[in-house]
């Protein structure tokens, strides 16, 4: 069998979809290494992969989270990690490198070593309909002008990268959009805006949802229909006031309301109505299987899981790709969206009631459920990787002949 090296950026939204794929490849007999921050070591080791931890100091993203700081962080991390990554990969001698679309150091290493590579898109595939956050744009130029230190640092790291390594065929600026001859997108073709404009190198494998360890501490026996579930993620802190608004808005509508508070202490929401469960972390897929409504920030993983379960969504996007995801859910009719500043109890209650009472939202959610499940998930992703390995060994051309958009 083959040796496959996964390289990723240390963020749960980027790592989580890869875990079932890695576990499936290991099950099929492949040797898999995973190069990532040590904070993810336990969950990756549980898949059967061998973990190669990055130095903790080398984190690719910086604050505030905006395109120019993202570019600077990705360029700095690429230069900082490449010597170590190259040494590890030279020792491992992988047959294939699989990396996140923002993992520039993996793409450079693949070119340096002459190893075939595959790129993973854990949000939408970027293109004309879904612009990459690090593409050259007026917004990026304005940010560069207003953050001269970040801009100078980015240009300095970029010069070091281009002078020291083989970057031919890689983006000159758009570091979050590193494409390869095969690109796996962890959502369905139906959910991708403008999917028809993307070439055949993009394969929409759908949500990568593997089995998760049960949480015996979660009081699943308390769930009564209709179950209303709210989780606003951990990257952008929702804050106790917004969570209290959700409690007030949803409690009269639900048999049981489940609130995942993330960074907020659940005690900050006390006193709670008897039908409300508030916990920092919730077994999300288990709750979504029984939910009638999901109030979410609109991260791609959460949206994918809701669509896979066939649950209508009320989206409160806060940043990153969340506004794009929310817009697409609304376009396809399986949810409604509201800004965080407008998410008072009255409006949230009214929109939640519409989602529960109007059959068209459930019908649209059912359609998206079919599309997500038919995409194939982690099994399809593993199949695509094995086919790409086979093609690479035979020296056959990449899946698409069309020029890659930059």
Q: Which of the two residues, 123 and 128, has the higher pLDDT score?
A: 123
Q: Quick check: 350 pLDDT over 70?
A: yes
**What's the pLDDT tens digit per position in 3-29?**
999 999 988 889 999 999 999 999 999
* Fold equal for 3-206+376-394 and 220-373: yes
Could you tell me the CATH superfamily of domain 3-206+376-394?
Glycogen Phosphorylase B; (3.40.50.2000)
Structure confidence at residue 404 as a pLDDT band (50, 70, 90): very low
pLDDT of 154: 85
Q: Looking at the domain 220-373, which fold is it?
A: Rossmann fold (3.40.50)
Q: Quick check: 58 pLDDT over 70?
A: no
Q: Quick check: 214 pLDDT over 90?
A: no
Q: Quick check: 364 pLDDT over 90?
A: yes
**What's the pLDDT tens digit per position in 144-162?**
888 888 899 889 988 999 9
Q: Quick check: 320 pLDDT over 80?
A: no
Structure confidence at residue 395 as a pLDDT band (50, 70, 90): confident
Q: Quick check: 124 pLDDT over 60?
A: yes
Q: Quick check: 305 pLDDT over 50?
A: yes
Structure confidence at residue 1 as a pLDDT band (50, 70, 90): confident
Entry pTM: 0.88
pLDDT of 348: 96
Structure confidence at residue 134 as a pLDDT band (50, 70, 90): confident
pLDDT of 396: 55
Return the domain boundaries, the chain: 3-206+376-394, 220-373
**Buried b or exposed e, range 183-218, using 16+ CB within 10 angstroms:** bbbbbbbbbbbebeebbebbbbbbbbbbeeeeeeeb
Structure confidence at residue 59 as a pLDDT band (50, 70, 90): low
pLDDT of 62: 53
pLDDT of 399: 47
Burial class (CB in 10 A: 0-12, 13-18, 19+), 271: exposed
The chain-wide mean pLDDT, for the chain, equals 89
pLDDT of 185: 96
**What's the pLDDT tens digit per position in 381-392?**
999 999 999 998
Q: Quick check: 61 pLDDT over 90?
A: no
- Find the mean pLDDT for residues 294-298: 93
């Amino acid at each position: 069998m083959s040796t496959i090296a996964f390289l990723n950026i240390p963020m749960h939204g980027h790592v989580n979809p890869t875990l079932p794929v890695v576990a499936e490849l290991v099950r099929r007999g492949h040797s898999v290494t995973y190069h990532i921050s040590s904070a993810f070591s336990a969950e990756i080791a549980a898949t059967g992969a061998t973990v190669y931890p990055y130095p903790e100091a080398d984190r690719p993203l910086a604050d505030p989270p905006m395109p120019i700081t993202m570019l600077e962080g990705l360029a700095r991390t690429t230069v900082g990690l490449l010597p170590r990554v190259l040494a590890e990969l030279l020792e491992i001698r992988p047959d294939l490198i699989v990396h996140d679309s923002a993992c520039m150091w993996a793409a450079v290493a693949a070119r340096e070593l002459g190893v075939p590579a595959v790129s993973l898109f854990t949000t939408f595939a970027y293109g004309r309909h879904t612009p990459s956050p690090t593409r050259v744009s007026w917004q990026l130029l304005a940010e560069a002008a207003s953050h001269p230190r970040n801009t100078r640092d980015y240009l300095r790291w970029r010069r070091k990268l281009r002078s020291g390594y083989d970057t031919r065929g890689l983006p000159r600026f758009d570091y979050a959009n590193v494409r390869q001859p095969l690109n796996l997108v962890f959502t369905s073709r139906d959910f991708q805006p403008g999917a028809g404009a993307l070439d055949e190198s993009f394969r929409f494998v759908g949500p990568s949802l593997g089995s998760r360890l049960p949480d015996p501490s979660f009081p699943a026996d308390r769930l009564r229909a209709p179950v209303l579930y709210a989780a606003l993620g951990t990257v952008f802190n929702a804050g106790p006031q917004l969570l209290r608004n959700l409690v007030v808005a949803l409690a009269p509508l639900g048999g049981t309301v489940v609130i995942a508070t993330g960074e907020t202490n659940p005690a900050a929401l006390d006193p709670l109505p008897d039908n409300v469960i508030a916990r920092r972390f919730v077994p999300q897929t288990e709750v979504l299987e029984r939910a009638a409504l999901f109030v979410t920030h609109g991260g791609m993983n959460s949206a994918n899981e809701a669509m896979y379960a066939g649950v209508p969504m009320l989206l409160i996007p806060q940043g990153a790709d969340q506004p794009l995801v929310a817009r697409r859910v609304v376009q396809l009719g399986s949810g409604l969206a509201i800004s965080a500043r407008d998410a008072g109890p009255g409006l949230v209650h009214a929109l939640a009631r519409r989602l529960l009472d109007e059959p068209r939202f459930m019908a649209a959610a059912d359609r998206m459920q079919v599309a997500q499940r038919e995409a194939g998930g982690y099994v399809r992703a593993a199949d695509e990787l094995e086919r790409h390995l086979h093609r690479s060994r035979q020296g056959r051309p990449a899946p698409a002949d069309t020029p890659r958009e930059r």
